[in-house]
Structure 1
Amino acid sequence: MTEKVHVCSEKQLKEDGWKVVRGGKHGIAVIHHENSVYAIDNRCPHLGFPLHMGSTCDGILTCHWHHARFDLKSGGTLDPWADDVPTYPVEISDGDIWITPEPIDKQTVAKLKKRLRDGLEQNISLVIAKAVVGLVEAGVNPIEIAKTGVEFGTKHRWNGWRSGLTILTAMTNVLPYLDKTGKILALYQGLVHVARESAGMGTRFLLDPLPLNEKTATPEFSQLAKWYRNNVEVRDVQGAERVLLTALKLEATTEQLSDMMMTAITDHFYMNIGHILDFHNKAFEMLGHLEHEHQEYVLTSLLPELANASRSEESHSWQAPVNLVTPLQNAFKVLEGIEFSQISADAGSSPSGLDEKKLVDQLLRDDPIQTIDQLLQALQNGTSPVRLAQLVALAAAERVARFHVQNEFRDWDTVLHTFTHAHAVHQSLKRSMTPELVRAIFHSAMSIYLDRFLNIPSARRPVAEKATEKAQEAKVFLDVLDKQQQTDEAAKWVVNYLANGGDKAEFFNIFGHALLRENAEFHTFQMYEAALMEHQLWEKEDSKIATQAQETMVIAATRYLAAHAPTSRDTSHTAKIAIRLHRGEKLFEE
């Protein structure tokens, strides 16, 4: 039992107005106000200013730093951007004041989770940051923290899944490669983007599934899949939602759901410049983290984007001066008769005898019809679609790695879209492999072809200088990105770092910090996550192409980040304030 602490006489406190005594983490302010005595934590929960320096009026204590207001009795704040302040029991005996230095209302994980939801609902970054810091430091599984954002973001944005939830998923994917502070920043950035994107966007209400009862014949899944496909074709989002919810009620498997949904979106080419397939892949990745909780809201959140999604086969660039649509449609008819190999290449040696480097080179050439033929031939000869998608993703990364700064700045996003689409195809094919989804490999390949002019001129691939005795520390990378226009310089630094034996694990952690300190836009988060995931898969192999592929992923991600840094960094500054407050630092002092 916590021992009581003597404060002073009631007479003395009435004369002085307040007194600070030891207790809690920051001292306890005992305040005499309107003939009553109150004890509260002496640290403003907003930004840590000493509350005994505030003022009291009509039962309210106001902090003088940012004017946060607190009820002296309960410690509750009147301002949603501040937190409640802990209060302590007070006793007056024989004219002396005693307090028990044990808060009346202790901080718990449940309260931190509620505070995180408050921050998401009110779109208050500091509240989100404090909750994330508290939850991580309390040992809560980061997936549980991300789940709160998924629950909120899929329900409270009427037009569904978009960049915020994609960023949250990408940052959840990279958590194993980050230190504790990196994990906090990654979760915070993802959750902040969900909150910002959902602000004022209205609540999304689910429709009902189709009626199912003992007297009604239950539709076969194949019939539901056909209905779903037809609804997406005519942009009937509500019809698609009822069919999807019916499939979920009938307990369709993840593979069945993926096949049904991916088939519908790959009926059209490179929808919404690749975002639609990427969003679908990320939703299924998040469901994997959540062990398939919240399927109804997560999967139906993908549908609103389909109503107005662009379809690239309708665009001029896919039809002229070279008609890509007809050759692709002809190739897709052939796909239906191929029995796909489930065997992926090992150590760069394809079971089908495919010259993988030659295929990657072909993907980067100005001959799309030949590319289509070679991809088709590779599948016919037994190359696994998963491996083929991995090679296409490598070629797409080459476009980013070779992107020349003489191009318009916005065209960084053009090559980025192709790479993240190719990565999403690669990841999706691991879940299920159908002729319909395999079509997306060809969509990526044609987008790589259409991006060819962005490598004219082609940026030179950095070459490592003569090896030194010891690589620089990975954190030096942060200094490199403190200046603008370090695109090629940053790539050269990374190549030298790795050539001189730099630790890759530490580099990817530092790279994560370099990203997470910026006010990064959506695509930069995508770039880091996709390049890291592709790199890790290539790292499992010991071959010449695997070695080059790993370097390509690092160069592509580095050049992209360097081109988009530095920013004002105010978003991460908020998270760092929350971390410092948790440590007990005094922000109001030098």
Structure 2
Amino acid sequence: MSELIYAGSLKTLEDEGAKVIKGVGHAIAVFVYEKQVYAVDNRCPHMGFPLHTGSLCDGILTCHWHHARFDIKSGGTLDPWADDVPTYPVEIKEDEVWVHPVPFNKVTIEKLRQRLRDGLEQNISLVIAKSVVGLMEAGFPSTEIAKIGVDFGTTYRSSGWGSGLTILTAMVNVLPKLDKTGQVLALFQGLVHVARESSGMGTRFLLGSLPVSNEKNTQSFEQLSEWYRHCVEVRDSQGAERVLLTAIELGFSNEQLADMMMTAVTDHFYVNTGHTLDFHNKAFEILNQIGFEHRPYILSSLLPDIGDVTRNEESHSWQSPVNLVKPLMEAFPKLSDILANVTLRGGADIDETALVEQILSDDPIKTVNTMLDALKNGVTPSRLAQLVTLAAADRISRFHVQNDFRDWITVLHTFTHAHAVHESLRRSATPELTRAVFYGAMSVYLDRFLNTPSARRPEPKDVETEPQNPSELLEMMNQQQQVAESARWVVNYLARGGDKSELYNTLGHALLREDAEFHSFQMYEAAMIEHDHWEKEESKLARYAQETLILAVTRYLAGHAPTAREMPHTAQIAMRLHRGEKLFEDD
């Protein structure tokens, strides 16, 4: 047992009212109230202000910085934005006061988990930040931290899956790219977006499955898939939910569920500018991270959105001046036979560079036919999707800043949709989902005006010199519209042999130090994942693809910085508090 700490005589404490003594690694404030002695951690658990300078009245200790209030006996706070203050056992021996240095209410993993839930429920960023920092420092798995956010976001947002859960999933995916501070920032940002998006949105209650009590009344997967597809077609989200929950109850695999859901999503063209398919992909990605037992709430959270989606085959741009709908509708019936009878050559005879150039061309009809030929010659649907994603990234890498600023989002939508299709096809390649590869290619075509004029791809200079310090890139992005300058910096860094892992981390911090909007998180994650796929190959196209993806994400982030940076400031406060720094003192 730890040795007791002498606090002084009872009479002296009564005369002084409060005294600070040195604890184990921290200070303890000792108070006398109604002839009883109480000891609390002297650091206000909200933001670290010394509590001995506060006021004790009616048994309530009030901090004088932000007026957080604490029950002097239990340490409990009256303010949900503050944490409980640790209290310490006190012994009085012959008029001398001694304090045990081990608090009654020690911080535990379970308490930190509960505080994270509190922060999400009350939408308090600092509480979320302190919980994430505490859990990460305690070695609590990042996927378990994310699980708390996913459970909350899929339960307490009646309108279902949205950008918050997408950001959280994306940040979980890129954690290996980041240092420890970056990982804290990534989880914090994702969780805060979940909390903000769920605030005041109401609880979502599951409808329940159809009866599955015996074999006679159990429907086949094929029948359920047909019902589900029809429900989505007529925008019946409730019917679709009951069918989906029935398929889950019957134990069908994630691959089967993905096929069922993706088929319905891709029955129409580029639904909701790609967000719907992207959300579906992210839901299956997070399931792989946190466990299949979460399928009912996670997958059904995708359904409230289906009642109000845009179907781009109905839009003017997809029908005029070039009718893109007709050639696609003629091509899609051929996909089943093509994929069933494909040769086993693996597309070895296909010029993939020429195929990417064709996707970027002004001839969409030829693009459709070229893509069909590629599939016939053994190019897999996932590989074709990878090439379309590269073409979409090329649009961003060449996006000219003379375009309307909001047009960044247009090319971003195409890229993240194409990436979601690629990742989904890597899990399961069906003819129905393969249709989405063609939607992506047509969207690349429709975005062609955003490369008119086309931003020049920078050429490296002084390649024999040492690579630059990555901090230079962060400093550059402290100024607005350093798009071309940042691109040149990155090209030189790569040409000089700069460490890519340091660059990934630097780009991650360029994102996470900002009050970034939804699409910037999408951009970083999709670029990093696609880059990883290409990095496994040794070819001229693979090297071009890697540079293109890095250029695309660099230019996009540079175009959207700097911001107010309120959120990362909150996270920095939490990290400094955890280290025991004094925020209230001058630097």
Q: Normalised by the size of structure 1, how large is the TM-score?
A: 0.98
Letter in 2 for 1:445: A
Q: Secondary structure at the match of 2:88?
A: coil
For 1:486, the equivalent position in structure 2 comes to 482
Letter in 2 for 1:409: F
Q: Given the alignment of the two structures, is residue 316 of structure 1 paired with residue 316 of structure 2, yes or no?
A: yes
Q: How many residues align?
A: 586
For 2:243, the equivalent position in structure 1 comes to 243
Aligned to 1:408, which of 381, 404, 408?
404
Distance change in 2, residues 1:343/1:35 (3 Å): farther
Q: Answer yes or no: is the 8 Å Cα contact 1:519–1:571 preserved in 2.
A: yes
Q: Secondary structure at the match of 1:91?
A: strand
Distance change in 2, residues 1:342/1:563 (3 Å): farther
Letter in 2 for 1:472: Q
CA distance in 1, matches of 2:463, 2:342: 41
Q: Answer yes or no: is the 8 Å Cα contact 1:171–1:190 preserved in 2.
A: yes
Letter in 1 for 2:583: L
For 1:150, the equivalent position in structure 2 comes to 150
Q: Secondary structure at the match of 1:451?
A: helix
CA distance in 1, matches of 2:231, 2:458: 49
Aligned to 1:561, which of 557, 561, 564?
557
Which 4+ stretches in 1 moved above 2 angstroms?
214-217, 339-345
Aligned to 1:365, which of 349, 361, 385?
361
Q: Answer yes or no: is the 8 Å Cα contact 2:71–2:77 preserved in 1.
A: yes
For 2:439, the equivalent position in structure 1 comes to 443
CA distance in 2, matches of 1:376, 1:351: 12
Moved more, 50-59 or 24-33: 24-33
Structure 1 residue 291: deviation in Å?
2.6
Letter in 2 for 1:194: V
Q: Answer yes or no: is the 8 Å Cα contact 1:167–1:193 preserved in 2.
A: yes
Q: Answer yes or no: is the 8 Å Cα contact 1:28–1:40 preserved in 2.
A: yes
Letter in 2 for 1:290: I
For 1:583, the equivalent position in structure 2 comes to 579
Letter in 2 for 1:134: G
Aligned to 2:387, which of 385, 388, 391?
391
For 2:113, the equivalent position in structure 1 comes to 113
Structure 1 residue 280: deviation in Å?
0.3
Q: Answer yes or no: is the 8 Å Cα contact 1:133–1:582 preserved in 2.
A: yes
Letter in 2 for 1:567: T
For 1:180, the equivalent position in structure 2 comes to 180
Q: Answer yes or no: is the 8 Å Cα contact 1:340–1:384 preserved in 2.
A: no
Letter in 2 for 1:328: L
Q: Answer yes or no: is the 8 Å Cα contact 1:344–1:386 preserved in 2.
A: no
For 1:543, the equivalent position in structure 2 comes to 539
CA distance in 2, matches of 1:476, 1:406: 25
Structure 1 residue 24: deviation in Å?
3.8
Letter in 1 for 2:164: G
Q: Secondary structure at the match of 2:39?
A: strand
Deviations 1:92-135 (CA, angstroms, capped at 9, x unpaired): 12111111110011110010000000000000000000000000
Taking the TM superposition and a 5 Å limit, the aligned residue runs for 1:163-202 are 163-202=163-202
Q: Secondary structure at the match of 2:87?
A: coil
Q: Answer yes or no: is the 8 Å Cα contact 1:344–1:387 preserved in 2.
A: no
Taking the TM superposition and a 5 Å limit, the aligned residue runs for 1:111-510 are 111-214=111-214, 216-339=216-339, 351-510=347-506
Gaps spanning 5+ residues in structure 1: where? none
CA distance in 1, matches of 2:244, 2:333: 27
Moved more, 352-361 or 23-32: 23-32
Moved more, 506-515 or 207-216: 207-216
Structure 1 residue 344: deviation in Å?
10
CA distance in 2, matches of 1:200, 1:240: 25
Structure 1 residue 341: deviation in Å?
8.6
Structure 1 residue 32: deviation in Å?
1.1
Gaps spanning 5+ residues in structure 2: where? none
Letter in 2 for 1:513: H
CA distance in 2, matches of 1:421, 1:25: 51
Q: Secondary structure at the match of 2:435?
A: helix
Structure 1 residue 343: deviation in Å?
10
For 2:69, the equivalent position in structure 1 comes to 69
Deviations 1:34-67 (CA, angstroms, capped at 9, x unpaired): 2211100000000000100111100000000111
Moved more, 538-547 or 331-340: 331-340
CA distance in 2, matches of 1:196, 1:343: 50
CA distance in 1, matches of 2:386, 2:459: 24
Structure 1 residue 217: deviation in Å?
2.2
Q: Answer yes or no: is the 8 Å Cα contact 1:396–1:422 preserved in 2.
A: yes
CA distance in 1, matches of 2:45, 2:341: 59
Q: Answer yes or no: is the 8 Å Cα contact 2:268–2:313 preserved in 1.
A: yes
Letter in 2 for 1:185: L
CA distance in 1, matches of 2:344, 2:13: 77
Q: Answer yes or no: is the 8 Å Cα contact 2:44–2:85 preserved in 1.
A: yes
Deviations 1:303-345 (CA, angstroms, capped at 9, x unpaired): 0111101000011110111111110011001112122699999
CA distance in 2, matches of 1:431, 1:494: 33
Deviations 1:527-566 (CA, angstroms, capped at 9, x unpaired): 0000010011111111000000000000000110000000
For 2:101, the equivalent position in structure 1 comes to 101
Q: Answer yes or no: is the 8 Å Cα contact 2:342–2:376 preserved in 1.
A: no
Q: Answer yes or no: is the 8 Å Cα contact 1:343–1:384 preserved in 2.
A: no
For 1:44, the equivalent position in structure 2 comes to 44
Q: Secondary structure at the match of 2:260?
A: helix
Q: Secondary structure at the match of 1:31?
A: strand
Letter in 2 for 1:387: R
Q: Given the alignment of the two structures, is residue 533 of structure 1 paired with residue 524 of structure 2, yes or no?
A: no
Moved more, 416-425 or 30-39: 30-39
Deviations 1:70-101 (CA, angstroms, capped at 9, x unpaired): 00000001011100000000111211111111
CA distance in 2, matches of 1:341, 1:392: 23
CA distance in 2, matches of 1:509, 1:130: 22
Q: Answer yes or no: is the 8 Å Cα contact 1:340–1:382 preserved in 2.
A: no
For 1:16, the equivalent position in structure 2 comes to 16
Q: Aligned Cα RMSD in Å?
A: 1.2
Taking the TM superposition and a 5 Å limit, the aligned residue runs for 1:83-102 are 83-102=83-102
Q: Secondary structure at the match of 2:38?
A: strand
Q: Answer yes or no: is the 8 Å Cα contact 2:28–2:40 preserved in 1.
A: yes
Deviations 1:189-213 (CA, angstroms, capped at 9, x unpaired): 0000000000000000000100121
